[in-house]
Amino acid sequence: MSKIQKTILKAVTEFYSSKWRMDDFLTEDDIRCRLYTKLESALNGNRNVNVHAEVRWYGRNNDLKYRSDLVVLDHRNLNVNPVRLPSKGYSFNKYYCIIEIKLRRLNNKESNTKYDRIIAGDLEKLSRISQETGGEYDDNKSFILIAFDKKRSKKLLSINRFGTPVEWQNW
């Protein structure tokens, strides 16, 4: 595991373990902004690594239509030349981490079972992105899901865990 990878995982774990109050996050964007700031601060010494939000994935055959909340990538492999790029206007070959974020509010009407299926769907999305980008064979790539469930007062951190049951913790 690279130094960059260790820095990312440490920052995400510290963020998750912080003593957040339920009113600290009103929206998923609140979580994304705070985690983005934490990652940028942790990676500050490495000018080749950037954190980006709302990154689109198209896959090898342009059939993967996903968007990730946060992606940490090596900007030396970032192409923003408008010639021959997908509609998103950029492409890159090297990334370190993909992060999906979920926040369930108190007034959410979905059952716990249905919400757990939504979480499972996001883990499946991470798995597909991993398969399409060769990430499942690379120890220097992480696929992270971080979720806060206000309705159950639970939280979840899943790192590179595809196909395993989620383990909610008390918030």
pLDDT string in tens for the chain (171-residue length): 788 889 999 999 999 999 999 999 999 999 999 999 999 999 987 888 989 998 877 666 666 678 899 999 888 877 776 666 556 677 777 788 999 999 999 999 999 999 999 999 999 989 888 887 766 557 778 899 999 999 999 999 999 877 677 789 999
Q: What is the pLDDT of residue 88?
A: 65
Query: Which domains, and CATH codes, for the chain?
Result: 3-170 (3.90.1570)
Strands in 30-165 per DSSP E: 49-57, 66-74, 78-79, 91-92, 95-104, 142-149, 154-159
Write down the pTM of the prediction.
0.89
